[in-house]
Amino acid sequence: MRKVLLTLAALAGLGLAGGAAVVFLGLYNVSAQSGHLPGVAWVLHTTFRNAVELRAMPPDEVPDLFSPDLVALGARHYATACAPCHSVPGEARTATIRSMVPEPPRIEEAVAEWQPNELHWIVYNGVKMSGMPAWPAVTREEEVWPVVAYLAAIKEGLTVEEQQALTAPGEAPEGSPPGAAYCSGCHALIDSGVPRLDIHEAPFLLHTLSEYRDGIRQSGIMQQAASRFSPAQLEELAAFYAAMEPTGPASAPPEAGAQLAARGTGDVPACTACHGPGASEARGDFPALAGQDEAFLVTQLRLWRSGERGGSELMTQAAEDLDDAEIEALAAWYAALPPAKGPEAE
Amino acid sequence: MTARRWKSKAGTRAGASCALLLLAACSGRQSALDPAGEDAETLALMFTVMVTAAAILWLCLNGLFFYVTRVSPRRMSRKLANGLVIGGGILMPLVLIGALLAWGLSILPDHDQPGDGLVIRVQGEQWWWRVAYETPEGDVISANEIRMPVGERVSFVLDSHRVIHSFWIPSLGGKMDMFPGRQTNLSLRADEAGIYRGQCAEFCGASHAWMAFEVEAMEPDAFDAWLAAEAAPAGPPDGGAEAIGRQIFAREGCGGCHEIRGTEFQGQVGPDLTHVGSRHSLGAGRLGARLEDFSTWIAHTDDLKPGVEMPPFDHLPQEELTALAAYLKGLQ
């Protein structure tokens, strides 16, 4: 018995010494030129597949993804955040990207073996030790769906022409700062779910972009967008959109939101006191909301209510007692107002 | 001086100061022992009679006990002993306390008795009071202060927003609990003009102790004039500082929570400020109502009243706070 124990202990000691030698003496070759040893790639990939299948949400929790606005937003975010590694239909990956270990698959191949619920998990969580990053905004799991909608469209066989139409640059008149075409691609060309910028004044726009850039306000899409520019460039962009004259249709504002917005309730402050329309004075960091996108307002109010929005204790407190019906009524009311610059505008 | 004597002297001093403190509580604008209204008068009488009767009862019982154990400790016949126990220990207290109970119940003020017409609705908030005077032209909204005409019985209709509070004006009458979703009534009559103090009498959260209000009992004519003024919308700012204060009020979004009738400020979360400048206190009895109290309150709400919903506006420079104070103090 003693002999057996001694042998086991000796073997364990040898194993430890071997492991320590690999770590401390650098015996394992991490070169990406040589690839993985036979069998290792299979072990890693199978582990990855099974881990995703185990953790992805049930398929019946996937929302409706057949919306052109969702696909367009996903496509435009993908174009700057994901395309460098996975490419887009009709384009090739660079030689450098193809030399990664593991090599990132072309997107058509990558989506072929996954369902939307699994794609959501992969895009939100990323994949450790593969080069696939996590979604930069940990509190914004719902924000991943546009990307999944776009990936589902690729799986359905998105053509090269369709792809080019989805990511055509936005309008950028002469003299506009660098990045304006990129920003307008979503903010001017997508109908729903993306906020309009022309109703805002420069201090608010710059404040918001800086919050995204510094991660104070979370959004995988806007943190990606804002981190592509220097502070000076962000300032130029803020000034560019602040100089725009808001135009656009207005419809009859629904009654339900009017009273709530102007008076609030015993628990909810009046929105118009800070956000207009018709605020007699307003601080530069209070955004105007008249004419703002309805779906965007609903999303933001829900984020405020859950306490995940970050950036203003006052708004978290203001929204914490709203119910779903009130959020929808307020968003519908503001969206129906004629768009106007600043909270002071009537 | 021995330690013992010193101790006893200190004890006497402490006892004397305690007694002084207790006596101080017998008068003033928040004392049930210094009544200024019909119901408080009754309650004070009841208190005096009950305490006197209790003292007599205590003296008689203990006197008897002292007599039989110390003054004349001799054997008694079983009959006499039983008689003393039954007569002095059961029958006498039963009759005396029964009589006191019957008398007390017969004069106890009816909290639900009909008033002379004026109805004031009060809702408990954390930690302040929403006040509405019912008039034929509609409700007159105010907060954190109650004014009532002297000599008229006023009906208070009470409820609460979130937690249980209790409405108590010791100088005018008894207390009545306020429940969320349930209405309770209290009827009070002030007999002497003056300013009294009310206080929440049911623990309601971190700043329960800071949930008070001022009550001004006024001559009926003065009250009618006041109510008419209170019903009117706020006047325009008078002078430069007040106009600047109004701009700051708008810019900081104060109107999101506070209503000032006659302006664009229509919020309903916090107290109505239409005539806040004419009130006797700020922050529900937390501070006085001088100009500097306004700026102190606005800048330090959470220090003065832990847990309060109003955020402290300590990011404002002092001159802006002063301008805000001037605007609010000007809302007479």
Percent of chain B surpassing pLDDT 90: 77
Which residue in chain B is spatially nearest to A262 when comparing CA positions?
B266
Residue B14 has pLDDT above 80, yes or no: no
- What pTM was estimated for this model as a whole? 0.85
Interface test with A, best of B252, B254, B261, B302 (most A CBs within 10 A): B252
Average pLDDT over residues B158-183: 96
ipTM associated with this complex: 0.82
Architecture, CATH, for domain A255-345: Orthogonal Bundle (1.10)
Q: Do residues A293 and A263 make contact, with C-beta atoms less than 8 angstroms apart?
A: no
Structure tokens, A167: 């990511």
B230: left (phi over 0), alpha (psi -120 to 50) or beta: alpha
Say if B94 is an interface residue toward chain A (CB within 8 Å).
Answer: no
Q: Chain B residues with CB inside 8 Å of A274's CB?
A: 253, 256
Residue B248 has pLDDT above 70, yes or no: yes
Give the per-residue SS3 of chain B: CCHHHHHHHHHHHHHHHHHHHHHHCCCCCCCCCCCCEHHHHHHHHHHHHHHHHHHHHHHHHHHHHHHHHHHCCCCCCHHHHHHHHHHHHHHHHHHHHHHHHHHHHHHCCCCCCCCCCCEEEEEEECCEEEEEEEECCEEEEEECEEEEECCCEEEEEEEECCCCEEEECCCCCCEEEEEECECEEEEEEECCCEEEEEEECCCCCCCHHHCEEEEEEECHHHHHHHHHHHHCCCCCCCCHHHHHHHHHHHHCCHHHCCECCCCCCECCCCCCCCCHHHCCCECCCCECCCHHHHHHHHHCHHHHCCCCCCCCCCCCCHHHHHHHHHHHHCCC
Q: Do residues A235 and A310 make contact, with C-beta atoms less than 8 angstroms apart?
A: no
- How many angstroms away from the CA of B265 is the closest CA of chain A? 7
Distance CA A108, CA B244 (A): 63
Say if B34 is an interface residue toward chain A (CB within 8 Å).
Answer: no
In degrees rounded to 5, what are phi and psi of residue B271? -60, 145
Average pLDDT over residues A45-68: 95
Strand order in the sheet with B145-149: B145-149, B212-218, B194-200, B165-168, B175-178
Residue B67: the pLDDT is 87
The residues with which B223 forms a beta bridge, in sequence order, are: none
Whether the domain at A180-242 and the domain at A255-345 fall into the same CATH topology = yes
Say if B265 is an interface residue toward chain A (CB within 8 Å).
Answer: yes
User: What are B288-299's pLDDT values in tens digits?
Assistant: 999 999 999 999
Which residue in chain A is spatially nearest to B123 when comparing CA positions?
A266
Average pLDDT over residues B266-277: 96
Interface contact A283-B266, CB threshold 8 A: no
Say if B312 is an interface residue toward chain A (CB within 8 Å).
Answer: no
Give chain A's largest Cα–Cα span. 92
User: What are A131-169's pLDDT values in tens digits?
Assistant: 999 999 999 999 999 999 999 999 999 999 999 999 998
Distance CA B93, CA B58 (A): 10
Residue B203 has pLDDT above 70, yes or no: yes
Option in A268, A280, A317 nearest B264 (CB): A280
User: What are A180-213's pLDDT values in tens digits?
Assistant: 999 999 999 998 999 999 999 999 999 999 999 9
Q: Which one, of B264, B159, B248, B259, lies nearest residue A265 by Cα?
A: B259
The residues with which B189 forms a beta bridge, in sequence order, are: B153
Option in B250, B256, B257 nearest A281 (CB): B250
Domain boundaries, chain A: 46-166, 180-242, 255-345
Q: Assign domain A46-166 to a CATH class.
A: mainly alpha
Which residue in chain B is spatially nearest to A279 when comparing CA positions?
B250
Architecture, CATH, for domain A180-242: Orthogonal Bundle (1.10)
Interface contact B267-A267, CB threshold 8 A: no
